[in-house]
Amino acid sequence: MTTSTNHRKVLLGLVAAFAMFGYPLLIALRMFLMQFPTIEEHVGPTGILPASASDVSYFDSVLGSAYEFTITEADFKQWATSCQLTVDEVRTPRRLRRFTLFRDQHRHVHVLDESSPEYSVELRSGLYFETPERHRGGCAVGFDRNTGRAYYESNSY
């Protein structure tokens, strides 16, 4: 038996072992971690947010995040640029999910209407950006000129 054949057999054995044990363990770890989100309301800037953010409320877990905060439009634009997000003017109404939706779904609250003001915000005047895969591993961010509030949501799945 050649060394190449031995290496191939070892590699196939490792792949088989990972398929049998590793992948299920990764899924179990992910499910375990999603049980422990960070939920804060009316706090200062945190994580990826700029220092000028205030009145921050958020839900952050390995599966998804939603932040909302008060900020000036100029600071929002600067923050979005620093995150390599190209925001554009809102031309048609855009809806963003609020942290309260993520929070209540985590707490197993039955959400009747995700589009209600309690769980989402509709931007009519302001700035907006979303990745093409927004609900499948992407993100969306928006600034509401009428309220001076910014919204960010991301999903890792």
State the total domains in the chain.
2
Statement to judge: residues 100 and 29 lie in one domain? no
3-state class (DSSP) for residue 96 = strand
The terminus-to-terminus CA distance of the chain in angstroms comes to: 44
Same domain as 72, residue 123: yes
| Phi and psi at residue 55, to the nearest 5° | 45, 55
Residues 29, 42: one domain? Answer: no
**Across residues 37-62, what is the average pLDDT?**
92
Q: Which residue has the higher pLDDT, 111 or 53?
A: 53
CA 150 to CA 106: how far, in whole Å? 22
> Do residues 12 and 64 share a domain?
no
- Which residues make beta-bridge pairs with 140? 130, 153
Residues 47 and 79 sit within 8 Å (Cβ to Cβ): no
Q: What percent of the chain has pLDDT over 70?
A: 78
φ/ψ (deg, to 5) at 29: -65, -45
Residues 58 and 10 in one domain: no
Residue 115: how many other CB atoms lie within 10 Å = 12
State the pLDDT at residue 3. 62
Print the domain residue range for 111.
37-155
Q: 153 falls in which pLDDT band (50, 70, 90)?
A: very high
Residue 62 to residues 11, 16, 20, 27, 71: CA-CA distances in angstroms? 31, 27, 24, 12, 26
Same domain, 29 and 44: no
